[in-house]
Structure 1
């Protein structure tokens, strides 16, 4: 239950748009389409399409901010278009001619549709390990984060950094904006622990929501 004072202190969407019945779901600003892809052995991948004519994509903002996964490696394979990726300050530009890009756990990274692109960006991304563990990046993390941000946009609300911190903390990941480049990972971890505690205990946010969680 969320109390009135929590809503005043940190507004949130009153109604959440269920996305659990859909194998694909669209991000805020209609910038990108995410499609879940099942792989052998219970594994999964996300196939993303970023629409090159969308203003959010043109601005290089259709991907996530700089972040770190603590317990999982991540992989990217481009099928169409041009993908820009920064890993620990080094920029990569990938097309379908390039091999799978491996990003080890603990790497600061972000990705977007590169400014040189002339067509929609389509790529697959997956994390490993991706099952039989708690507190890792999985499809439900993506559904919760994308669903929450889209509902904030629909309701004209600024997304809460505390809610986003709680999502990332619950998935053993860290937000690491450029202003925090100087921070060691151990300090970022403690900041996320504190932020997640405030989000859940004081502000009444949740780690996941039934409307977004499959």
Structure 2
């Protein structure tokens, strides 16, 4: 059992991204109490912000330490696993993503003008609602709400405010969330190499250059974020509980 359990200040919180296009509600999992996080996520697939990026698949990635779970409540969700696309519906029950598998989630609707066809349950392609949850682990750098809260906020900077995406910032956040960007499968030992790059570039080099994985401005449980960063000599300087040394380029405020 994880040693990191604590009273969850996130329970009941709603995280809104893409100007309301994606809404994430933090919940108790309806039948698995041992999940480290559980969310009810709603994708409004025809929302202008969501529709604008619908044809752009998110990056493939993997989680070495955690199994991740997806269960569709309403609509459809595309899940790519090791190059194979699965379009999930409520009939599929809970879908498991094993540790180390290369995967990504995205909307099955890519054209806002098209009318969804072939769905015998009458789904119209307007929205998808699904449960997203994750296996507990003793690892401090893991998928949890501190990671997702900051990752959604950073995506808003890129998608909504037009900031240029910074690969080192992404790798810093992903590493602290127990996640690593996938390399092409033809690369020998691709997962091991990808994880190594994520640690070296995202944590070591990124930390030395002033990249931090979590930001006080975006984080509800700043104490937990600080405890996470204090486990790394490269992140300790960002863990001031009174103020955070946030990057001027990222947030537009003096460092």
Do the structures match in fold with TM over 0.5? Answer: yes
TM-score (structure 2 length as normaliser): 0.67
Which residue in 2 is equivalent to 1:45?
Answer: 38
Which residue in 2 is equivalent to 1:182?
Answer: 186
Q: 1:199 aligns with which of 191, 203, 206?
A: 206
Contact 1:50 1:62 in 2 (8 A): no
**SS of residue matched to 1:142:** helix
The Cα shift of 1:118 comes to 1.7
**SS of residue matched to 1:211:** helix
**Superposition pairs of residues 1-214 of structure 1, within 5 angstroms:** 23-28=13-18, 30-39=20-29, 40=33, 43-58=36-51, 59-60=53-54, 64-115=58-109, 116=116, 118-129=125-136, 132-153=138-159, 155-176=161-182, 180-183=184-187, 184-196=190-202, 197-202=204-209, 204-213=210-219, 214=221
* Change over 3 Å in CA distance of 1:121–1:143 after alignment to 2: same
Which structure has more relative contact order (CA 8 Å, sep 6+)? It is 1
- Give a deviation string over 1:13-58, Cα, whole Å, max 9, x none: xxxxxxx798112223543111111344574312111112124534
Bigger CA radius of gyration = 2
Structure 1 distance, partners of 2:177, 2:211, is 15
Unpaired segments of 5 or more residues in structure 2?
1-9, 110-115, 117-123, 222-255
- Alignment length (residue pairs): 191
Structure 1 distance, partners of 2:81, 2:166, is 26
Contact 1:77 1:100 in 2 (8 A): yes
**SS of residue matched to 2:192:** helix
Q: CA RMSD in A?
A: 2.5
Name the one with the larger strand percent.
1
TM-score (structure 1 length as normaliser): 0.79
